Amino acid sequence: MSKESNSDEMNGGDSNSDGKSSVTVNEKILLHLKDYSSYRDATEVPKDVTQKGIANAVGILPSHTPRALKRLIRDGLVAERDGYVGGGTRKSRVYFLSDNGNQRTKRLAERIGSTTVEMRKDGKITYVQLCEINMQLRNKLSFLELVMHHGQYRYFDITRIDSGQKIVDFSTKAPRVEIFVDREDEFGTLKALAVERKVVVIFGWKGVGKTALASKYLENIRGKQSVFWYQLQPSDTFMDLLESLAEFLELMGVKTLSDYLKGGKVNMAESQLILLEALSESDTRLIFDNYSEQQGEDIVDFFSLLVNMIKDTKGIGVLITARENIPYYNWFYGKKELEREIVGELHLKGLDRESGKKIIAVKNIEEDAYKQIHQLTKGVPQLLEYIRDDSTDALKASGLFTAQEIRLMLGLKKVVRK
């Protein structure tokens, strides 16, 4: 028998190099690889299945992985092949469970899952099965992470682990604001409202800068809170929203909503319960941009329900942007919610004269000439951008000006101080 079979012995499972955990290194590798079974035949695979990724996950030196893997391959539990890692163009050696390995790991997980562990929650100590911890944490930790945690601490402090929920950023669709002028007061109000109210709505005319302000806010909380950004379309149904939210939750390690959606028959209230339950105390901001008067009835219902249910939660905030004057039958809350301070509103107006001038970006523009432009555009940044870019068509399409006014504004832009 070769030397390498000693410390990594699978059977029995109570010998281990770190002496703290009763799960061996090889067992940890199996448990880790189990989460990546779906990539077994994929061309592109995550780096977690490379030697380095495996070493990282199970907490051993990369130089120690080849030996452990060799043994698992020899026993027919793990298979190796080449694969493209994380979108790269170079191939790396990657590892997966064989069918045999899968079955073995399933039994192993069942055995470990049924061991009794100490759980501390809200100041109380109880003894439960390890798989119960998984439910308490809403699958936030992978099975291997649970095992490793137990190996290190010997107990689970649910409250503490929960507060360390990982931050997830789901805002790649948010438009970036290149140059953002002023809005200091509005930004301050927004930040304060976001602390005090569960739901904040930014109102304003088209092009006034609602989305820009929301993305400025996003920049401000990025990395500190989990953020979800959704660009609402008139054609959206509440299922579109839920699917996107489910994807977001999955990134947070919570599969409850996606599992629920996969089950077919979706009830709106039930799905929201699952959503809020999953997010409670997670310090998450959900941003929905561009709520419009064309939103379908089920979206209106979705948000009414959200406003209704969110008031009893902790750690979740919602930010919505919307045009002014959306008819009440398409709106999702009333005076009551404002009075109860569940919802807070911020009405954006055009930029003041000095700020607007920065957008027009004409050096030495004559003061009176600019004053007229500002009056006609009411300082709406989008309109000022159109003028800056000589976009006659866009100005026409806005439906706000006569052809004469457009010619006038574009002419005024050229009036500069000598």
Ligand X SMILES: Nc1ncnc2c1ncn2[C@@H]1O[C@H](COP(=O)(O)OP(=O)(O)OP(=O)(O)O)[C@@H](O)[C@H]1O
148 binds, among ligand X, Mg ion, none (CB under 5 to 8 A by kind): none
Q: Does 211 bind Mg ion (CB under 5 A)?
A: yes
Task: Single out the segment in contact with Mg ion by CB under 5 A; choices: 16-24, 142-150, 211-219, 335-343.
Answer: 211-219
42 binds, among ligand X, Mg ion, none (CB under 5 to 8 A by kind): none
In whole angstroms, how close is the CB of 285 to Mg ion at the nearest point?
17
In whole angstroms, how close is the CB of 104 to ligand X at the nearest point?
55
In whole angstroms, how close is the CB of 395 to ligand X at the nearest point?
14
In whole angstroms, how close is the CB of 229 to ligand X at the nearest point?
13
379 binds, among Mg ion, ligand X, none (CB under 5 to 8 A by kind): none
Dihedral sign computed on CA atoms, order 186, 191, 192, 193? positive
Dihedral sign computed on CA atoms, order 379, 385, 389, 391? negative
Cα–Cα distance, 148 to 154 (Å, whole number) = 9
Kindly tell me which of 168 and 212 has the beta carbon lying closer to ligand X: 212
323 binds, among ligand X, Mg ion, none (CB under 5 to 8 A by kind): ligand X
Name the residues that contact ligand X, by CB under 6 A. 177, 179-181, 183, 204, 206-212, 290, 323, 359, 381-382, 385
In whole angstroms, how close is the CB of 321 to Mg ion at the nearest point?
6
Burial of 246 (0-12, 13-18, 19+ CB in 10 A): buried
Kindly tell me which of 61 and 179 has the beta carbon lying closer to ligand X: 179
305 binds, among ligand X, Mg ion, none (CB under 5 to 8 A by kind): none
Q: Exposed e or buried b for every residue in 215-244, given b needs 16+ CB within 10 A?
A: bbbbeebbeebbbbbbebeeebebeebbeb
CB-based contact 104:124 (threshold 8 Å): no
In whole angstroms, how close is the CB of 200 to ligand X at the nearest point?
15
CB-based contact 252:282 (threshold 8 Å): yes
Task: Single out the segment in contact with Mg ion by CB under 5 A; choices: 139-147, 195-203, 206-214, 332-340.
Answer: 206-214
Cα–Cα distance, 191 to 197 (Å, whole number) = 10
Kindly tell me which of 270 and 393 has the beta carbon lying closer to ligand X: 393
Kindly tell me which of 118 and 385 has the beta carbon lying closer to ligand X: 385
CB-based contact 33:97 (threshold 8 Å): yes
Structure tokens at 397: 């399409």
Cα–Cα distance, 182 to 261 (Å, whole number) = 43
Cα–Cα distance, 103 to 98 (Å, whole number) = 9
Interface with Mg ion (CB under 5 A)? 210-211
